[in-house]
Amino acid sequence: MDYKPKIDQYKSQIKTIESEGQNIINISNLAIGLSQKLLLSLKKDIENRKFNSIDQEIYFFKKVKHIPLTKLIYYREIIRFETYFPKVNSKDQIKFVEKKLTALNQYFMRHIDFGHYIDLKCIHLDEYYFTRQNLVPDAYYSMKIFYPDPNFNTSKDFLFGEFKAKKKLAGYIKSRLTNENSLGKIGVSLPLDKLKWTGNKIDLIELIYALKASGAISDGQTGIKEIASTCEILFDIKLGNWYRKFLEIRSRKIERTKFIDRLKLSLIRRMEDAEV
């Protein structure tokens, strides 16, 4: 079965939700609902058909199911984090963030071997990890699900989704204080009242997406929304629907990276002037 239409539609809906500028709790609730709906639909799909090969089964549980599963776990974690995040005292906020990051580090250490397997894109254990014939409801799995459905779970597919979700969560948590306009409260002194973005909004959005694509911020784990929100605070600007503006950039016939190209030329001229 071709899952691409369902996945593409889901990704498009998630992008729309994430780019509409709603608060994170509303975004999380909507994303959770969409993720649950898709997972139920995928479950019905495989209940009504058999995989033609082991490779097809591995592909489904490793490449398809994890997409809504990761989002579901990620946004549930976001709601849990935001529910208990201190609302006023900056020192309490810092302690809370540090505690959460410590817990995440401990999680990654507990699953360090599986993490290496995923990060190195290994495949030699896929038949054991991502097929239902090897489903063993171990103690870890049982803590998360009372009894894993043998028709819709493998021994590691939940852990795979959780692992990816927690990596994304780490980036969100590290950016959380920045979103609270607390840059100066965590040992960073910036003249926030003096920095103004005087260029076009679409130029800044082009830069934001370039930074995200490069993986230069938080090892690529910080989302577009977090980067854009930080830039709005830093440069005292409201970007509006940045995803829609990104679509405008992407649809350019020529000079798709107009602002980035201009930056490069400006830097080269600055270097040449310095050599004189």
Which is more confident, 237 or 187? 237
pLDDT confidence tier of residue 112, bands split at 50, 70 and 90? very high
Q: What's the residue count for the chain?
A: 276
Please report which helix (H) or strand (E) contains residue 114, including its range: helix 112-119
> What number is the average pLDDT over the span 205-232?
86
Question: What pLDDT was estimated at residue 187?
Answer: 38
How confident is the model at residue 189, as a pLDDT?
Answer: 40
Quote the pTM value: 0.65
What are the domain boundaries of the chain? Answer: 4-186, 190-276
CA 141 – CA 118 distance, rounded (Å):
18
Proportion of the chain above pLDDT 90, given as a percent: 43
d(CA 77, CA 58): 26
Mean pLDDT of 213-242: 83
Please write the tens of the pLDDT for every residue from 149-207: 778 888 899 999 999 999 999 888 887 766 554 433 433 344 445 578 888 999 999 99
Say which residue, 47 or 65, is predicted with more confidence: 65
Instruction: Tell me the pLDDT band of 216, cut-offs 50, 70 and 90.
Output: confident
Mark 175-202 as b/e (b = at least 16 C-beta within 10 Å).
bbbbebebbeeeeeeeeeeeeebeeeeb
Spatial contact of 60 and 43, defined as CB atoms under 8 Å apart: no
Helix 157-179 × helix 224-235 angle, to 10°: 0
Confidence at residue 190, expressed as pLDDT on a 0 to 100 scale: 43
